[in-house]
Amino acid sequence: MTAIRDVLIWDSERERAERGDIEIGSDGRITAVLPPKGAKGEILFDGRGETAAIPGLVNAHTHVSMTLLRGIAEELPLMEWLQTKIFPAEDRLLPQHIRSGAELAMLEMISGGTTCFADMYYFMREVASATLASGMRAALCRGITGDDARKLNENLSLAEDFGGREGRIIVQLGPHAPYTVPRDFLARIAGIAKDRGLGVHFHWLETEGELKTFRDEYKISPSEYLAQAGLLDAPKLLLAHSVWHPSDELGRVNRSNVTLVHNPKSNLKLGSGYAPVREMLDLGMNVALGTDGAASNNRLDMWDEMRAAALMHKGYHKDPTLVSARDVLKMATLAGAAGMGFEGVGLIKAGWHADIALVDISGPRYVGCDDRNLPEFLVYSGSSRDVRATIVDGKPLYKDGCFLTMDSQEIVAKAREHRRDITK
């Protein structure tokens, strides 16, 4: 038994934060939330009433190994960015680069309170084993382009070998996007997902040009396309971006197995537009939050993403009541974990996994922060720099600037070397 002492606890089921202790069992699950000094066991962390405890942040759409490609293509439109810069660089990536980029990303995520992520890329066995070693939780898939049975088979063997490992890895199927995977192959992938109980992670209507293709070439509505391909019947479907999903068609994809992943900063940086998040939330849809890869953001910082999500819709719609701080904190925690298929992840309550970010609220930006306004302080004044500890399944991965499961100096040095390899 271990304990996190005297913290201000908030999750998306709470109206007000609660000052207390979190008691954690040897299985890594929370056994009780108790009044301050009420928890028994070895003290993992003493918050002294100056620390907030929130569920670990969940980055629901990223490509972690792209940290090695950070900055190689700036200020270009998506298709040009992909075809002239990203795809050629990706051709040079070897398994050791994928591992190195993934580890670099994990340092960044862990130090900012992120405990869980959904990733689509290739050489994913490297990402899976790095995830297991780091202590993080992830939903992983092999990005599938074309009608390439080899890539699909790699994805399926990833599921066989890593799915369910240590309760921290979920393997999904990863058809890349409607513009990179033919429709009949997409239908085949969707059928396999349904048969084998695997989720699907898919890039969806990121740019306006894609919507135009549906209208002018496929002559089918986007929602109908998803339904006909069988994707809406996948046990879990993560639709990344969904910027151009027509808002009058959202009802058609409003299903409990479907999660829309909002990526505000990537969409802003690539000039893609803004997703109809107001409408999605009004319909009660499950909306998660992601950073996308480091080549299009360029941070894997969920605090930054929360702030962008909470601000941009207010500005576009000229309505400060839209997409509240509490909405985005839920998107960045419970909604992401549930969307990937992790059960019992994303709240701080008995029986749930002890995936927790501890945040220092003693600094100047938090004067006036209390049990009623903590979510707003975190989103509008807070930053990843305030994270003091990151815990997954009751195990601290990061505390007071130190990485407890990873050698950060070695990882950064190796990543520098690998970056030189792939850009020379």
Size of the chain in residues: 424
Nearer CB in complex with Zn ion: 103/292? 292
Give, as one character, the DSSP assignment of residue 81: I
Mask for 251-290, x = binds Zn ion (CB under 5 A): ----------------------------------------
* Alpha carbons 11 and 333: distance in angstroms, whole number: 8
Nearer CB in complex with Zn ion: 292/393? 292
- For residue 63, the minimal CB distance to Zn ion (Å) is 6
Q: Peptide bond before 298: cis, by omega within 30 degrees of 0?
A: yes
* Alpha carbons 136 and 105: distance in angstroms, whole number: 11
Mask for 283-322, x = binds Zn ion (CB under 5 A): ---------x------------------------------
- For residue 283, the minimal CB distance to Zn ion (Å) is 24
Give CA separation, 233 vs 4, 128, 187, 198, 313, in Å. 41, 26, 11, 11, 30
Residues 6+ apart with CB under 8 A from 419: 68
Cα angle, residue 283 at apex, residues 277 and 287 outer, rounded to 5°: 45
Nearer CB in complex with Zn ion: 292/386? 292
Token couple for 257: 């197995």
Q: Which of residues 362-421 bind Zn ion (CB under 5 A)?
A: none
Angle of the 183-196 helix axis to the 222-229 helix axis, nearest 10: 60
Does the footprint of Zn ion cover residue 210 (CB under 5 A)? Answer: no
Nearer CB in complex with Zn ion: 292/301? 292
- For residue 4, the minimal CB distance to Zn ion (Å) is 34
Residues 6+ apart with CB under 8 A from 40: 1, 3, 23
AA identity, residue 151: K
* Alpha carbons 180 and 190: distance in angstroms, whole number: 15
- For residue 202, the minimal CB distance to Zn ion (Å) is 10
* Alpha carbons 244 and 205: distance in angstroms, whole number: 5
The residue nearest Zn ion at its CB is 292
Q: Which of residues 163-202 bind Zn ion (CB under 5 A)?
A: none
- For residue 72, the minimal CB distance to Zn ion (Å) is 16
Size, binding site for Zn ion by CB under 5 A: 1
- For residue 176, the minimal CB distance to Zn ion (Å) is 9
- For residue 340, the minimal CB distance to Zn ion (Å) is 15
Site of tokens 């040095």: 413
Nearer CB in complex with Zn ion: 141/335? 141
Closest CA to 359 of 322, 332, 327: 332
AA identity, residue 390: T
Nearer CB in complex with Zn ion: 143/394? 143
Nearer CB in complex with Zn ion: 266/390? 266
Longest dimension (CA), the chain: 64
Check: CB of residue 97 under 8 Å from CB of residue 65.
Answer: yes
Site of tokens 């304990």: 3
Nearer CB in complex with Zn ion: 142/388? 142
* Radius of gyration of the chain measured on its C-alpha atoms: 21
- For residue 177, the minimal CB distance to Zn ion (Å) is 9
- For residue 62, the minimal CB distance to Zn ion (Å) is 7
Q: 302 by DSSP, 3-state: which?
A: helix
Nearer CB in complex with Zn ion: 210/292? 292
Neighbours of 179 (CB within 10 A): 14
Nearer CB in complex with Zn ion: 31/272? 272
- For residue 61, the minimal CB distance to Zn ion (Å) is 6
Sites of contact with Zn ion (CB under 5 A) = 292
